[in-house]
């Protein structure tokens, strides 16, 4: 993927403990790539390695074809053509919006007047022209974020690195800002790497995404690929709702607690004991409890405005996630029909897992 970003076997440890452990991936030019994982999984360290704010212990990084880290090379951050958007936005409080956006241009040697003039199209990109004379303290969180994005563009960044930029926003603003980020990405033409712990946010934004755990990538793919066909139980449990349950797989179907249902798997998946992912949208309640179907009992309920999320315990103690449009009650017996399931690939070694990623 020449012209994009290539990371090859990059590693970084602190006090002997790996924070990033041999990660490799390619990002196409102009792609919006999201890295998602729990706090402490290594995603912020990886982003800082790409930005040049940390020095890798091993491996190499290429930005748009140029080696910036590895093989004795360590290009400083200001020479990498990257823009970094932090959670805090890191705006100068004494400067106006226009001044903040123009700052990288002034720092490069332009006059204040010329920098202010060249800042205007970047303000237009993020729809902040009308607020250009305000100070950051007079802006909302979403508006401050737009200023930080415009500053990246003014600095000539062809790679934009975002470190959980929506984390400090109120929940009702996040949906709006997701749309703003996608609009910004399309209009800027930049290659974007975005990290978050919010899997819903990751799936909404990404062209492709990676699920990270313990310093490694578990899987890389489009949001739909990772949601529909997770490569391992850890990804299946982290992305979306669902239950990973033990089944017996045979030629396109699976059996659980004496009930057989259709199941998809990778070509050549062997018959026999396996693990299957059951998503709420693949489970329906049959009209007559205690007859056909998979038998279970409602153990917990959450009302989410027009729908009920329930956990249903089946024989053997497994809990299935279920979404229903009418009220359920704890202790209610149910008969369930499973319309679809995904049989997880059988992987025993790290090498096999890395190959899937």
Buried b (16+ CB within 10 A) or exposed e, 331-342: ebebbbebeebb
3-class secondary-structure state, position 258? coil
165-to-32, 141, 331 alpha-carbon distances in Å: 14, 10, 42
Average pLDDT, the chain: 88
* Rounded-to-integer distance, Cα 133 and Cα 146, Å: 14
Which residues, 6 or more positions from 154, have their beta carbon under 8 angstroms from its beta carbon?
101, 102, 103, 104, 105, 118, 119, 122
| Residue 114: both structure tokens together | 């010329």
pLDDT-above-70 percentage for the chain: 94
Report domain extents, the chain. Answer: 5-228, 242-346
Q: What is the DSSP string of 27-57?
A: E-TT-EEEEE--TTSSHHHHHHHHHTSS--S
3-class secondary-structure state, position 244? strand
How do residues 273-316 score in pLDDT, each as one tens digit?
999 999 999 999 998 766 688 999 999 999 988 899 999 999 88
Which residues, 6 or more positions from 119, have their beta carbon under 8 angstroms from its beta carbon?
98, 101, 102, 105, 150, 154
More confident residue, 331 or 158: 331
Which is nearest to 7 in space by CA: 229, 161, 186? 161
Residue 331 has pLDDT above 80, yes or no: yes
Q: Which residues pair with 273 in a beta bridge?
A: 248
Residue 122 has pLDDT above 50, yes or no: yes
Q: Where are the beta strands (DSSP E) in 197-351?
A: 208-213, 216-221, 243-250, 253-256, 259-262, 272-278, 283-285, 294-303, 308-314, 319-324, 333-338, 342-343
Q: Is 350 left (phi over 0), alpha (psi -120 to 50) or beta?
A: alpha
Q: Which residues pair with 309 in a beta bridge?
A: 302, 323
What is the CATH class of 5-228?
alpha beta
Please check whether residue 195 is in contact with residue 163, taking contact to mean a CB–CB distance below 8 angstroms: yes
> How many C-beta atoms surround the C-beta of residue 50 within 10 A?
25
How do residues 100-112 score in pLDDT, each as one tens digit?
999 888 887 888 8
Q: Is 302 left (phi over 0), alpha (psi -120 to 50) or beta?
A: beta
* Rounded-to-integer distance, Cα 199 and Cα 246, Å: 25
Is 242-346 assigned to CATH 3.30.565.10?
no
How do residues 200-259 score in pLDDT, each as one tens digit?
999 999 999 999 999 999 999 999 999 999 999 999 999 999 999 999 999 999 999 989
CA 329 to chain centre: 34
* Rounded-to-integer distance, Cα 142 and Cα 127, Å: 12
Query: Which pTM does this prediction carry?
Result: 0.84
């Amino acid at each position: 993927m020449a012209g994009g970003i290539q990371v090859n076997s990059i590693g970084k440890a602190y006090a002997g403990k790996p924070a990033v452990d041999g990660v490799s991936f390619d990002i196409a030019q102009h792609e919006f790539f999201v890295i998602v994982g729990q706090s402490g999984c290594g995603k912020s360290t990886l982003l800082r390695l790409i930005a040049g704010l940390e020095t890798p212990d091993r491996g190499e990084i290429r930005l748009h074809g140029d080696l910036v880290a590895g093989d004795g090379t360590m290009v400083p951050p200001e020479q990498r053509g990257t823009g970094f958007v932090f959670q805090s936005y890191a705006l100068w409080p004494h400067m106006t919006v226009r001044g903040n956006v123009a700052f990288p241009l002034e720092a490069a040697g332009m006059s204040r007047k010329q920098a202010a003039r060249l800042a205007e199209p970047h303000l237009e990109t993020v729809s902040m022209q009308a607020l250009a004379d305000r100070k950051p303290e007079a802006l909302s969180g979403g508006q401050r974020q737009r200023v930080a994005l415009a500053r990246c563009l003014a600095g000539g960044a062809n790679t934009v690195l975002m470190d959980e930029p929506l984390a400090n926003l109120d929940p009702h603003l996040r949906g709006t800002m997701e749309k703003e980020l996608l609009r910004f990405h399309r209009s800027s033409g930049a290659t974007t790497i975005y990290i978050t712990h919010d899997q819903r946010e990751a799936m909404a934004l990404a062209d492709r995404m990676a699920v990270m755990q313990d310093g490694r990538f578990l899987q890389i793919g489009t949001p739909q690929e990772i949601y529909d066909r997770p490569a391992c139980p850890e990804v299946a449990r982290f992305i979306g709702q669902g239950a990973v349950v033990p089944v017996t797989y045979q030629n396109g179907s699976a059996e659980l607690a004496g009930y057989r249902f259709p199941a998809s798997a990778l070509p050549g998946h062997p018959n026999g004991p396996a693990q299957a992912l059951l998503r709420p949208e693949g489970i329906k309640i049959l009209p007559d409890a205690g007859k056909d179907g998979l038998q279970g009992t409602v153990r917990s309920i959450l009302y989410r405005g027009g729908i009920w999320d329930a956990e249903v315990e089946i024989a053997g103690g497994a809990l299935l996630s279920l979404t229903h449009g009418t009220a359920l009650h704890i202790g209610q017996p149910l008969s369930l029909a499973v319309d679809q399931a995904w049989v997880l690939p059988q992987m025993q070694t790290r090498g096999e897992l890395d190959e899937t990623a």
